[in-house]
A = this chain, B = another copy of it.
């Protein structure tokens, strides 16, 4: 809050640190990024009171696929990964994280994402930073095949520290009623659990990541030898590795589901976020079944071993906080497991057969 010491001063909004001009400059900059994500179903123009998305842009296409459409919607933020982006001054990929956190949640229920909106709360609008953030959101939307139809940037100098911001998003998709994937209804004993590789820490557990970095005095700008044998991260600084954007699983999963017109071999799915494998795979289980996952079925990436070592973190805690290399899981009928793994591999995913569904009590059990 500005200049409150001059008690007879005539107050204006600008005095309080909120700049309408900076906001306008930002709006101009971000329009191009939004437009890149727009197809013929997006109506209206930037600056309208609300974004508009035409459901039946082509009657034949939409109505052929959807007899009883159910809108699926979720909201999520990127957590304290923003603080790492701020610390490193790299703002162009955190937007992809924000999109990923939302659309990866939505496809779990069988939906195809339609559109996205973002919310940025910040100390004050830096048009260049804001453009980078929104560009990342638009990139994420392109990867997810959805339209970025709106957003809000709120300047709140007394809530956020200088240079700080928070980023949250909101997505809407659609699924046919009879094709909603509800693991607790359809998962059966003997079903196979498949895991898709994550791209890194994704967007959960960054408060712990940052605590480890601080406690162990790690250097975010250093290239650590621990990653020399890691084809993804060799030669990259720790900061770059930790900011690697969250993988978006939308296109392979939506295509996979669309490929089975009558059969429904995918009985449950999970996006591995806060809570890790034990806190998310269980969300796709009936009360009387367990997910038995072999710890030998996939190799935990060097990144998680590195964090565990420097933070002296318990193995159980690692599994509860981090994805440990698996970002998304599918539970599938055993006869289809191989074919599905092959399809996903061809779509560019690294697929692991993690284990099987057994009698139990709705929890994840790790075996050696």
The answer to whether A83 touches B159, judged by C-beta atoms less than 8 angstroms apart, is yes
Distance in Å from the Cβ of A142 to the closest Cβ of chain B? 19
Q: How far is the CA of A56 from the CA of B67 in the complex (A)?
A: 9
A119 CB contacts on chain B under 8 angstroms: 75, 77, 119, 168, 170
The answer to whether B207 touches A49, judged by C-beta atoms less than 8 angstroms apart, is no
Find residues 116-152 in chain A having any chain B CB closer than 8 Å to their own CB: 117-119, 121, 149-152
The answer to whether A71 touches B114, judged by C-beta atoms less than 8 angstroms apart, is yes
The answer to whether A312 touches B11, judged by C-beta atoms less than 8 angstroms apart, is yes
Assess whether A64 is interfacial by the CB under 8 Å rule.
no
Quick one: which of B15, B82, B170 contacts A170, CB cutoff 8 A?
A: B170
Q: How far is the CA of A76 from the CA of B117 in the complex (A)?
A: 10
Distance in Å from the Cβ of A110 to the closest Cβ of chain B? 10
**Total identical chains:** 2
Find residues 31-78 in chain A having any chain B CB closer than 8 Å to their own CB: 43-44, 47-56, 68-77
Q: How far is the CA of A154 from the CA of B83 in the complex (A)?
A: 14
Q: Which 5 A-B pairs have the closest CB atoms?
A: A170-B170, A50-B74, A49-B108, A11-B311, A16-B207
A18 CB contacts on chain B under 8 angstroms: 207-208
What would 21 A/B residue contacts be, using CB atoms closer than 8 Å? A1-B210, A4-B214, A9-B215, A10-B314, A12-B317, A13-B205, A15-B211, A16-B207, A17-B207, A43-B180, A51-B72, A53-B73, A55-B68, A73-B172, A74-B117, A75-B152, A83-B158, A83-B159, A152-B168, A154-B166, A172-B172
On chain A, the number of residues with a Cβ less than 8 Å from chain B's Cβ atoms is 94
Contacts A4-B211, A16-B211, A212-B11 given; indicate if A111 touches B50 (C-beta within 8 A): yes
The answer to whether B210 touches A158, judged by C-beta atoms less than 8 angstroms apart, is yes
Assess whether A105 is interfacial by the CB under 8 Å rule.
yes
Residue of B nearest to A166 (CB): B121
Distance in Å from the Cβ of A269 to the closest Cβ of chain B? 8
Q: Which of A7, A71, A121, A313 has the most CB of B within 10 A?
A: A71
Assess whether A321 is interfacial by the CB under 8 Å rule.
yes
A177 CB contacts on chain B under 8 angstroms: 54
Quick one: which of B1, B70, B83 contacts A53, CB cutoff 8 A?
A: B70
Q: Beyond A53-B73, A121-B121, list 6 extra A-B contacts (CB 8 Å).
A: A10-B312, A17-B207, A43-B70, A48-B283, A52-B73, A77-B152
Assess whether A8 is interfacial by the CB under 8 Å rule.
yes
The answer to whether A109 touches B52, judged by C-beta atoms less than 8 angstroms apart, is yes
Quick one: which of B8, B10, B159, B317 contacts A13, CB cutoff 8 A?
A: B317
The answer to whether A70 touches B51, judged by C-beta atoms less than 8 angstroms apart, is no
Residue of B nearest to A215 (CB): B4
Contacts A4-B215, A13-B317, A18-B207 given; indicate if A115 touches B71 (C-beta within 8 A): yes
A356 CB contacts on chain B under 8 angstroms: none
The answer to whether B80 touches A156, judged by C-beta atoms less than 8 angstroms apart, is yes
Assess whether A164 is interfacial by the CB under 8 Å rule.
yes
